[in-house]
Amino acid sequence: MWLLRRYTSKSALIAAVAVGVLGFTGAALAANAVRGAAYSGQLSAPRTSYLVSFKVSANGKQVTGLAISNTPFYCGGGGPPVPVRFANATISRSGTFTSGGRYVITEGPLKGQIGTKLTITGKFGTGGTEQGAVTSSYPKSPVCNGKTSYTTKKI
């Protein structure tokens, strides 16, 4: 009887450790984010000149330094590039993240007001790839709102 209890306790311990290791490994593999790596890429056509870049934290749990080289504009107009930085984002167990950014107008009669609100969503793939979408909304000009997909890869 004692031998059976001892065997059962060891089996339970081994099973618990195995589940813990597999659970941890599964979460790490599901995310596919390369720890400590920098990623760079571009928006889909016709906005391929817009660059998306970020880094994955050393522990693989956060996207940091997330930026886009210019605010996507979906109506007439133009001007100099308006780079936007996004807040750091947590990478989920499934390898997804979402972050927000904004451009505050720096001159003219609307100075200090939010010109553009942006949301970026991404999902890590295999082989150092990642893809997602950037959504732009213009509070003062909703006709210019839009969404474009993008892809990045580990550099």
CATH number where 81 lies: 2.40.160.90
Lowest mean pLDDT: which of 4-18, 99-113, 139-153? 4-18
Q: Are residues 74 and 128 in the same domain?
A: yes
pLDDT at 141: 87
The whole-model pTM stands at 0.77
Q: Are residues 89 and 57 in the same domain?
A: yes
pLDDT at 3: 45
Q: Are residues 3 and 78 in the same domain?
A: no
Q: Are residues 26 and 37 in the same domain?
A: no
Q: Which of 131, 125, 135 is nearest to 41 (CA)?
A: 131
> What's the domain range around 48?
33-154
pLDDT at residue 135 tops 70 = yes
- The domain tally of the chain equals 2
User: pLDDT (tens digit, 9 = 90+) per residue, 31-81?
Assistant: 699 999 999 999 999 999 999 999 999 999 999 999 999 988 788 776 788
Q: Are residues 112 and 140 in the same domain?
A: yes
Cβ-proximal residues to 35 (8 Å cutoff; 6+ apart), any chain: 56, 57, 58, 59, 60
